[in-house]
Amino acid sequence: MLEIASIILPIFLTILIGYLALHFSMLSKEHVKLLGLFIIKISLPCLLLVSISSQDFHSLLQLPYLISYGVASFAVFICAVLIYFKLFKAPLTEAGVMGMGAAMSNTGFIGSGLLYLFLGEKAAIYFGMTFLIENFIVFLMFLICIELDQHHAPLRQILKTGLVNIAKNPLIIALVSGFVLSACQLPLPELLQKTLRPIGQTSAPLGLLVIGGSLYGISLRAQTHLGRDIAVITALKLLMMPLLVYGMFQLFPSASAEMIFAGVLLSSVSMVGLFAVFGQQYDLQKVPAVLLVNTILCIISLSAVIHFLHL
């Protein structure tokens, strides 16, 4: 429990700094929105390109892990989108954001720290595979939801326009480029790595500052269905997702105890900080509050996984 707290506490402190920066007028809401754009357009693509291209391609192809985590992520995302779009009659953009929150863990900031704590350098293998799944399945489906919602035209035209826009997205360009470089065993030139890595490393702390800034000035009482959203997303992210991952692993006798522990642990982490960044970009003001509560509650889910599955 203390190890988990020591990793999560700096997250809350960074969020607090973002909140105080607006409280004392060091930054404005417009500045926070620009920080969010910087993360999405520049910082995160740099991180993805450097991280994925540096992974050993063969270590990223452990099928029991890829299938188990991939199917669970896909199922949770679709479940969240259907709940919000069909049941709650929310716009597809909001449904997509909530789907990302339910199916995409804070792998980079919380998950990697915990996994390295228990597995040492072996953690990089599972971190890399999870990173690929989250970005090539969950994040790609999220972008498709955004494109479908923002273009009112015949389905064929929507798909054509959406695919073109997705192909132009810096995040997708970085993902595909990193994967191709890894597959071809072509490392990025050292000069490029030294240039892009520090830029990419700003995405996590800046994302937390954006969360804090987004929380400032928001009246939680004025947010409609906040309690409902916290309950639904928390149930999907911290309960359904780990159980699905664990259940999928049981279909593969070759899945080791270490692999199962890594997959279930990462799936038990609260949602990625981009959940709040994109929520802010699309004026979903309740999203940072959902993330904050989810991050607090993930201490319970992580403790349960460590207690029952740790080797």
pTM for this one?
0.79
Q: Give exposure, 110-141, as e/b (b: 16+ Cβ within 10 Å).
A: bbbbbbeebbeeebbbbbbbbbbbbbbbbbbb
Q: Which domain holds residue 248?
A: 1-310
Q: Is 152 left (phi over 0), alpha (psi -120 to 50) or beta?
A: beta
What pLDDT score does 286 carry?
84
User: How far is the C-alpha of 132 from the C-alpha of 284, rounded, in Å?
Assistant: 27
The identity of residue 282, as a single letter, is Y
Total domains in the chain come to 1
Structure tokens at 3: 């190890």
User: How far is the C-alpha of 200 from the C-alpha of 222, rounded, in Å?
Assistant: 35
Residues of the chain with pLDDT below 70 are: 1, 3, 108-109, 121, 151-155, 158-159, 161-162, 219-220, 222, 311
For position 28, which CATH number holds?
1.20.1530.20
User: How far is the C-alpha of 51 from the C-alpha of 49, rounded, in Å?
Assistant: 6
φ/ψ of residue 269, rounded to 5? -80, 150
CA 26 distance to own-chain centroid: 28
Q: Are 127 and 115 in contact (CB under 8 A)?
A: yes
CA dihedral 109, 115, 120, 122 (to 10 degrees): -100
What pLDDT score does 144 carry?
86
Structure tokens at 1: 């429990």
What pLDDT score does 135 carry?
82
Identify the three-state secondary structure at position 105. Answer: strand
The identity of residue 211, as a single letter, is I
Identify the three-state secondary structure at position 101. Answer: helix
What pLDDT score does 257 carry?
94
What pLDDT score does 147 carry?
80
